[in-house]
């Protein structure tokens, strides 16, 4: 079955520290993966998608098919990065989401 796993419910770091939010998936075929972010009191919004291979707000994510992972990384966390992050897999016209990781960045 197609599934997305985010093993960490909460990740706390200090400003300037590196961040890695983990995402693993199970999918038979070529996956299309996304990271969505939800800031406090805002709607869910797309952060990045693997096919674009771009860096948004300093975040990058590389698809590793061998490890079935799509971890989100940022070398230096900022306080404004504090939010809920969801990894999602596109499967036959719908998105399958992980349970999310709350990132807290302390000053």
Partner 1 sequence: DTGVSQDPRHKITKRGQNVTFRCDPISEHNRLYWYRQTLGQGPEFLTYFQNEAQLEKSRLLSDRFSAERPKGSFSTLEIQRTEQGDSAMYLCASSLTNYNEQFFGPGTRLTVL
Which residues of the shown chain bind partner 1 in the complex (CB under 8 A)? 4, 9, 32, 34, 36, 43-46, 49, 86, 88, 90, 92-100
The distance of closest approach from Cβ of residue 82 to partner 1 in the complex, given in angstroms and rounded to an integer, is 18
The distance of closest approach from Cβ of residue 6 to partner 1 in the complex, given in angstroms and rounded to an integer, is 8
The distance of closest approach from Cβ of residue 86 to partner 1 in the complex, given in angstroms and rounded to an integer, is 5
Tell me how far apart the 2 most distant CA atoms of the chain are, in Å: 42
> Quick count: other Cβ atoms within 10 Å of Cβ 26?
13
* Residue 78 or 104 having the CB closest to partner 1: 104
* Residue 19 or 35 having the CB closest to partner 1: 35
Six token digits for residue 94? 């719908």
Six token digits for residue 47? 């952060």
CB 11 within 8 A of CB 19: yes
Length of the chain: 107
């Amino acid at each position: 079955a197609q599934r997305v796993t985010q093993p960490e419910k909460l990740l706390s770091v200090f400003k300037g520290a590196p961040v890695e939010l983990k995402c693993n998936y199970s999918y038979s075929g070529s996956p299309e993966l996304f990271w969505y972010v939800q800031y406090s009191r805002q709607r869910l919004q797309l952060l990045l998608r693997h096919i674009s291979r771009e860096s948004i707000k300093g975040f990058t994510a590389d698809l590793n098919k061998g490890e079935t992972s799509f971890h989100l990384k940022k070398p230096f966390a900022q306080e404004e990065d504090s939010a809920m992050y969801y990894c999602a897999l596109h499967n036959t016209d719908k998105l399958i989401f992980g349970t999310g990781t709350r990132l807290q960045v302390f000053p």
